[in-house]
Amino acid sequence: TRRSSDLSVITIEKLIFVQQNGYVSLYTGFHSIFPSFLKKIADTNLIFFLIYICTFPSKKETLITIGIYGVYLALTLFTGVRGTAVVAVLMILIYLVYRQSYNKEEKYFTKKTIPFLAICAIVFIVFLGAYNTLRNGMKIENFNFFDQFVQFFVDQNTTGKVISYVEEYKDQLPDTNVSYTFGPFISYVRQGTIAQILGIDGTHMKFNTEEMALYGNDLGSTISYLVLGEQYLNGFGIGTQYMAEVYADFSYWGVMIYNLLLGMILMALTNIRKENWIGMTYSFFIISMVIYLPRQPALAWVVNLLSIPNILSIILIYLLAFFYSKKSKMLEMEQLNEDSLDH
């Protein structure tokens, strides 16, 4: 399972493309040269990484694996995408806190490391704020550390604006979109792996197109089209927000019920013991998805959780572990029998 931290060739391909064509072109002109099955394998890097660290290897092995995965996250930053790295860093910090609470002898957060991590967090935030400007092809004049720190949080206000835009444009949301909340499921059934296996003739819609905005059940595309118009078709977008989607479909009652159910699920995750590596893997996978919810579709995390590549990855590791354990027990029994004969 250490291969979970292998660098994704798809990420490297995106990095090269963005360096040659610009960040916005990633959403309008990128086409991978690799076959779809290889892209599916590359997308499982997170689940394999989580499987490994959720078996709670030694501290040294854990830090080495996290370091290698950190190289991959750095590469994702150079594609212009910040969310993958930010969410992964937060998820890893939560994992280390959880791990330290189970084993008091392992110290990841001490009086010496906490100030250092705080400084790293501030520098990282400033970098993200500045990088948001640079990735859009703009220059930073008269760089100011404090201004860039504040700018990062100003940039996050886009998420809040999505909710206000939904309220403003709610009468203009097209009836051709069936549901924004269940949009990820609709897209998966029409265009996902199961649809391809069953031969369902679902139209594959591209982002930043009028078709996606009007028929894709993707609030980020629809609201970006209504607010930005031609800019949306040229690759720009506002993004989506889980509460905005639920509100657009079910109003305030939907928002309350959704958050109540989400809270209950997160509470249930705290009862999973570390000996249950499958349960722990899914727990941290859900946590990583929930961290990103303010910028994600409401049920995207459920679709990712139930995706065939991720499920097959769990089954594969389980079978390998099962047969390895069975073989180890057989070798132990043979060794015991040999020892008894010698005596």
> Rounded to the nearest 5 degrees, what angle is found at the Cα of 78, between the Cα atoms of 73 and 84?
40
- Residue 49: half-sphere exposure toward Cβ, Cα within 13 Å: 28
User: Under 8 Å CB-to-CB from 114, ≥6 apart: which residues?
Assistant: none
The pLDDT of 89-106, averaged and rounded, is 90
The pLDDT assigned to 8 comes to 65
pLDDT reading at 249 higher than 90: yes
pLDDT reading at 166 higher than 90: yes
Alpha-carbon gap, residue 325 to 323, rounded angstroms: 5
Task: Give me 142's structure tokens.
Answer: 């008269």
Please list the helix, strand and coil fractions of the chain in percent, rounded to the nearest 5, in that order: 70, 0, 30
The pLDDT assigned to 2 comes to 31
pLDDT reading at 6 higher than 50: no
11-61 confidence digits (pLDDT tens): 888 888 888 887 777 877 787 888 877 777 778 889 999 999 999 999 999
The pLDDT assigned to 35 comes to 80
User: Which of 31-35, 103-107, 250-254 tops mean pLDDT?
Assistant: 250-254
The pLDDT of 158-177, averaged and rounded, is 90
Tell which wins on pLDDT, 258 or 17.
258
Angle between helices 219-228 and 242-269 (to 10 degrees): 150
Task: Give me 154's structure tokens.
Answer: 């100003």
The pLDDT assigned to 195 comes to 64
pLDDT reading at 94 higher than 90: yes
Cα separations (Å) of 110 from 60, 116, 118, 124, 145? 17, 10, 12, 20, 27
Cβ–Cβ under 8 Å, residues 48 and 1: yes
pLDDT reading at 335 higher than 60: yes
Match 């490297």 to its residue by tokens: 12
The pLDDT assigned to 119 comes to 92
229-246 confidence digits (pLDDT tens): 999 988 888 889 999 999
